């Protein structure tokens, strides 16, 4: 799946991004320029791609399970 975002503005080494929807744009968030492609400027359109992170998911599930067990045994 791929989403498109618009770089709304850049201030203090951060960029405000807008999520592009079929009929409007809405705020997505503010991101450090270090985490975005070099040379972007206000008005640029970027694409975001998603993929499932199996290793991260497994680690998170393990941490949650351990936390549940700890709380259950208190």
| Domain harbouring 55, CATH code | 2.40.50
d(CA 48, CA 28): 12
Residue 50's pLDDT band (cuts 50, 70, 90): confident
First-to-last C-alpha distance (Å) of the chain: 42
Span 11-24, average pLDDT: 95
**22 band by pLDDT with thresholds 50, 70 and 90:** confident
Between CA 25 and CA 14 the distance in angstroms is 19
What whole-number distance in Å separates Cα of residue 61 and Cα of residue 59? 5
Query: Domains in the chain: how many in total?
Result: 1
Percentage of the chain modeled with pLDDT above 90: 89
- pLDDT value for 36: 96
Predicted confidence at residue 58, as pLDDT, reads: 96
Residue 11 domain boundaries? 2-72
- Look at residue 5 in the predicted model and tell me its pLDDT: 97
Spatial separation of the C-alpha atoms in residues 31 and 5, rounded to whole Å = 12
pTM of the complete model: 0.73
């Amino acid at each position: 799946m791929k989403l498109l975002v618009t770089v709304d503005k850049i201030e203090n080494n951060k960029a405000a991004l807008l999520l592009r929807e079929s009929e409007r744009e809405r705020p997505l968030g503010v991101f450090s320029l270090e985490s975005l492609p070099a040379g972007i400027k206000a008005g640029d359109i970027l694409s975001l791609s998603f993929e499932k992170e199996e290793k991260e998911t497994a680690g998170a599930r393990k941490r949650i399970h351990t936390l549940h067990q700890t709380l259950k045994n208190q």
